[in-house]
């Protein structure tokens, strides 16, 4: 009963189990139809649809039907509802923070016995082994799909007048102040768990300690939140609007309109920002404080255990197709997401793609300082229900950072996870 209640807990967000199919017409007679639930819009959706069509043309017995399910959180709500109703698709993709819960709930298909699963040439930081503490020692339940890190984007036309790159927190403060003018903020960042986790790591902290205790970075978490507060308070950081991906999209529009000179966002927006801006866009790694550090983000492929075996095997063929060097390189080059296999990254390098598009390589290089997430079944709940609202309240309502995070630790239970 408790498991079912959790799976249904965000069903109100979903609007039902259905979605919008992006398949290229009806499946030819005799094909095994494999539903694939995905959560992209815009260019990323078009790129995925292209890859689905390529797979469907590459063989004659399987037909993947891609079904759009909204943004990450809407898609997850629908997936939880479908799992509770016994109607889950064979293939979907989910954000990294929810993987431990789904694995512990027993709804993910173990992948170790699937052909080639353990031998995939994945980038060490992006598969299960590198994305989660202790991930290599657990049964394999995910493989990476669209993976990202947070990076900085600057309006190069404005930035050329600045001396040096903001590679420290102090440098960030100085550049943000220097770029601020009437009608323009020097810096913008969504008040979001992901970017706060980056700051916590840079300040030398851990959101969840190795022993499972939810510390929220202790003093490092406080310093991370105080940095945002001070930048907003002095007027060099735009007070962030909205929440979730609405805030991210609004910040992108502010950047493109010249209302913000430098933003933190996902590497997933590289191609979009480059092609939409009427000024040169430059990507930069995030600055350091005690150390350089970033979390990884994006989603992983999952097969759902309750789906028929024949559909799961066919879905795995599609996953393998998307992880082939040509497919993975195409996905990365067209979107900005990281190339998840070493072969795809090598191909982009040798083809000269990174020489022509250096912004795309920033996140790949930044993986050298990527920090894994804890394997915590409560991590997603702590993110969405406990920490995220208090980050927003602290910045927008000017609450004391130490008190806000102390309250969050209390609600998280400071428990062993």
Tell whether the model's pLDDT for residue 408 goes beyond 90: yes
Q: Above 60 in pLDDT, residue 4?
A: no
- Residues 155-194 have pLDDT tens digits of 999 988 765 689 999 999 999 999 999 999 999 999 999 9
Give residue-wise pLDDT tens across range 387-403.
Answer: 999 999 999 888 999 99
Please, which pLDDT band fits residue 289 given cuts at 50, 70 and 90?
A: very high
Reported as type and span, the H/E element at residue 44 is: helix 42-58
Cβ atoms within 10 Å of 9's Cβ, excluding its own: 15
Exposure on the CB side of residue 94, measured as CA atoms within 13 A: 25
Which CATH architecture does the domain made up of 150-295+378-412 adopt? 3-Layer(aba) Sandwich (3.40)
Q: Residue 336's pLDDT is what?
A: 93
Q: Residue 18: which pLDDT band, with cuts at 50, 70 and 90? A: low
**Which residue do the tokens 């600057």 mark?**
154
Using a 10 angstrom Cβ sphere, with 0-12 exposed, 13-18 middle and 19 or more buried, the burial of residue 225 is buried
Residues of the chain within CATH 3.40.190.10 domain(s) are 2-148+297-364, 150-295+378-412
Inter-residue contact 139 to 284 (CB < 8 Å) = no
pLDDT of residue 164: 67
CB proximity list for 94: less than 8 A, separation 6 or greater: 75, 76, 79, 102, 142, 299, 300, 302
**pLDDT at 245 > cutoff 80:** no
Report the percent of the chain where pLDDT is more than 70. 91
**309 Cβ neighbours under 8 A, 6+ residues apart:** none
Q: pTM for the complete prediction?
A: 0.90
What would the mean pLDDT of 375-392 be, rounded to a whole number? 92
Residue 135's CB is within 10 A of a number of other CB atoms, namely 19
Rounded mean pLDDT, 343-353:
97
Mean pLDDT of 69-92: 92
Q: Highest mean pLDDT: which of 28-32, 44-48, 309-313, 375-379?
A: 309-313
Residue 248: the pLDDT is: 82
Does the 2-148+297-364 domain belong in CATH 3.40.190.10?
A: yes
């Amino acid at each position: 009963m408790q498991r079912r209640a959790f799976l249904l807990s965000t069903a109100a967000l979903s609007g039902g189990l259905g979605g919008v199919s992006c398949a290229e017409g009806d499946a030819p007679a005799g094909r095994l139809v494999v539903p694939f639930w995905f959560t992209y819009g815009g260019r990323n959706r078009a790129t995925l649809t292209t890859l689905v069509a390529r797979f469907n043309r590459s063989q004659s017995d399987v037909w993947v039907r891609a079904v759009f399910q909204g943004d990450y959180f809407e898609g997850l709500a629908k997936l939880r509802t479908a799992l509770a109703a016994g109607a889950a698709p064979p293939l979907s993709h989910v954000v990294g923070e929810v993987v431990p819960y789904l694995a512990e709930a027993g709804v993910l298909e173990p992948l170790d016995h699937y052909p080639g699963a353990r031998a995939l040439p994945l980038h060490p930081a992006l598969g299960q082994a590198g994305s989660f503490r202790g991930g290599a020692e657990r049964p394999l339940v995910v493989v990476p799909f669209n993976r990202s890190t947070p990076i900085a984007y600057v309006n190069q036309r404005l930035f050329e007048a600045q001396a040096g790159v903001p590679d420290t927190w102090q440098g960030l403060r100085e550049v943000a102040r220097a770029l601020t003018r009437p009608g323009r903020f020097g810096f913008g960042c969504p008040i979001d768990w992901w970017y706060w986790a980056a700051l916590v790591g840079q300040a030398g902290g851990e959101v969840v300690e190795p022993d499972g205790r939810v510390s929220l970075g202790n003093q490092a978490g406080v310093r991370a939140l105080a940095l945002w507060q001070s930048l907003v308070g002095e007027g060099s950081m735009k007070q962030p609007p909205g929440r979730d991906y609405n805030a991210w999209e609004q910040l992108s529009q502010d950047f493109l309109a010249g209302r913000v000179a430098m933003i933190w966002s996902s590497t997933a927006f590289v191609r979009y920002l480059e092609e939409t801006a009427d000024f040169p866009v430059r990507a930069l790694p995030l600055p350091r404080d005690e150390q350089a550090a970033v979390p990884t983000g994006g989603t992983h492929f999952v097969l759902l255990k309750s789906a028929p075996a024949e559909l799961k095997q066919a879905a795995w063929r599609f996953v393998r197709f998307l992880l082939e060097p040509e497919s993975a390189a195409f996905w990365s080059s067209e979107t900005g997401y990281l190339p998840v296999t070493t072969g795809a990254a090598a191909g982009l390098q040798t083809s000269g793609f990174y020489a022509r598009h250096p912004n795309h390589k920033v996140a790949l290089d930044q993986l050298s300082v990527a920090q894994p997430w804890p394997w915590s079944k409560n991590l997603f709940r702590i993110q969405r229900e406990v920490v995220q609202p208090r980050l927003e309240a602290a910045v927008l309502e000017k609450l004391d950072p130490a008190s806000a995070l102390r309250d969050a630790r209390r609600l998280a239970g400071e428990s062993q996870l």
